[in-house]
């Protein structure tokens, strides 16, 4: 049996790998589990590694692979390996689910209006760290190389600040929103796509307000 923190960390790592194909950083794991220091993350990682739930990939920074997942009865099963950028696993029947507001569509292309909505999207609690979250349906293909596809649901943690290289919801001129990598270029803000067919967008800092940063991704299959 895993401890609650070990289980939560394993689910968080697995969900991030399925969403982006990249392991979360130790800082992101610390924030997601609301731990006081990274040493706690190191202990949890070591415990999961010793029990063969995860393994570290050699010669690669931040490289973890999930080997198996616990089933709902506490036993373990081999973790299915998804195609790159495929989203979070089907949730177990006993997993906590949080209803997050679904606020219409957001562009992953040219900016479009972000519509406020009254509907909600059920999300496995393990996908969300601390803080307030909302969801947006992605429209467009400018973030496909980051594994974000048209029709996906972006899970956004509310914040008004972002670090260099984070994927954010950027509100432009208080009217249009887009999902892009956030970067600074001299005195300008540059919003970068993840599709070589699109050009970066440059704005004055007073034109751009960060509305949140990407926390996860959901994809529905019909």
142-181 pLDDT, tens digit each: 898 888 888 888 999 999 999 999 999 998 887 788 999 9
Catalytic residue selected from 23, 139, 180, 213? 180
Indicate if 115 and 37 belong to the same structural domain: no
The CATH number given to whatever domain includes residue 213 is 2.10.109.10
DSSP 112: B
User: Is 38 marked active-site?
Assistant: no
Question: Do 144 and 48 meet the contact criterion of CB atoms below 8 Å apart?
Answer: no
Per-residue pLDDT, 189: 95
Indicate if 14 and 63 belong to the same structural domain: yes
More confident: 84 or 90: 90
Q: Does 105 map to a domain?
A: yes
Alpha carbon separation from 186 to 171, 190, 203, 204, 211 (Å, rounded): 20, 9, 11, 10, 22
Indicate if 58 and 152 belong to the same structural domain: no
Give pTM, 2 decimals: 0.55
Lowest mean pLDDT among 7-11, 39-43, 62-66, 130-134: 62-66
Per-residue pLDDT, 113: 52
Indicate if 102 and 57 belong to the same structural domain: no
Catalytic residue selected from 23, 30, 139, 142? 142
Look up residue 151 and give its two tokens.
């029709």
Lowest mean pLDDT among 58-62, 78-82, 186-190: 78-82
Look up the domain containing 105 and give its range.
98-218
pLDDT digits (tens, 9 = 90+) for 86-115: 334 444 444 578 888 887 778 776 554 555
More confident: 207 or 111: 207
Rg of the chain (C-alpha set): 18
- Give me the number of domains the chain comprises: 2
Nearest to 184 by CA among 159, 208, 148: 208
Q: Does 192 map to a domain?
A: yes
Per-residue pLDDT, 4: 82
User: Is 30 marked active-site?
Assistant: no
CA angle 27, 29, 30 (to 5 degrees): 65
């Amino acid at each position: 049996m895993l401890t609650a923190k070990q289980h939560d960390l394993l689910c968080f790592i697995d969900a991030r790998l399925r969403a982006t194909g990249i392991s979360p950083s130790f800082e992101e794991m610390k924030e997601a589990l609301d731990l006081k220091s990274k040493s706690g993350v190191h202990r949890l990682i070591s415990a999961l590694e010793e029990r063969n739930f995860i393994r570290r990939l050699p010669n690669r920074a931040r490289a973890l692979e999930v080997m198996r997942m616990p089933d709902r009865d506490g036993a373990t099963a081999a973790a299915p390996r998804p195609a790159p950028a495929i989203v979070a696993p089907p949730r177990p029947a006993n997993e906590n689910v949080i209803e997050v507001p679904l606020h219409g569509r957001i562009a992953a292309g040219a900016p479009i209006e972000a519509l406020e909505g009254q509907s909600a999207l059920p999300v496995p609690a393990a996908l969300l760290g601390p803080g307030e979250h909302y969801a947006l349906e992605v429209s467009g293909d400018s973030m496909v190389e980051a594994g974000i596809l048209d029709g996906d649901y972006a899970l956004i943690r509310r914040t008004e600040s972002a670090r260099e290289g984070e994927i954010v919801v950027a509100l432009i001129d208080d009217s249009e929103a887009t999902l892009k990598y956030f970067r600074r270029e001299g005195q300008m803000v540059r919003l970068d796509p993840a599709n070589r067919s699109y050009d970066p967008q440059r704005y004055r800092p007073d034109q751009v307000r960060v509305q949140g940063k990407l926390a996860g991704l959901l994809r529905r299959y019909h």
